[in-house]
Structure 1
Amino acid sequence: MRPELRSKIIEVCDKKIALKGDNVGLSFYAFFANKNDNPELLMEAATWWIQTHQLDHFIKAHKVKEMVQSNL
């Protein structure tokens, strides 16, 4: 995973946890604006989420953050 995406995921997870608590869930779409302004990065996130880790649509933000920080 490229550093740009890794940083973005951690940043979004931190914001969601701060706003809604440790139990907040999110999908990989949370890391992108409503318009598809970076399809390559979106596909990288989708591949990591769906193909590599076979995650459900919504996952706890703290779990996603831990996975990214652990380089999974």
Structure 2
Amino acid sequence: MNWYLIALLVLAVLFFLGLVLLEYGEDETTSNNPTENYSQDEIALAEFLETREAINEDFLIAQKKLLETINNERR
């Protein structure tokens, strides 16, 4: 291998390593208090959607059990 190619590969690896470290550093500083960046409406909407998702999961479980019971009774 030519030393040009080796030098280019080393520089590319250092460049991408620098980008990863910069991104990691920015995420660490902004994640100290996540509720600072959201309004009360956004927080309420997130809570509503989480509750709705839990209700939908419970409904799907109950529906599956009901269908299993119906299929067992038909046999």
Q: TM-score normalised by the shorter chain: which range applies?
A: under 0.3
What TM-score do you get using the length of structure 1 for normalisation? 0.27
Structure of greater Rg: 2
What TM-score do you get using the length of structure 2 for normalisation? 0.26
Q: Which has the higher strand share?
A: 1
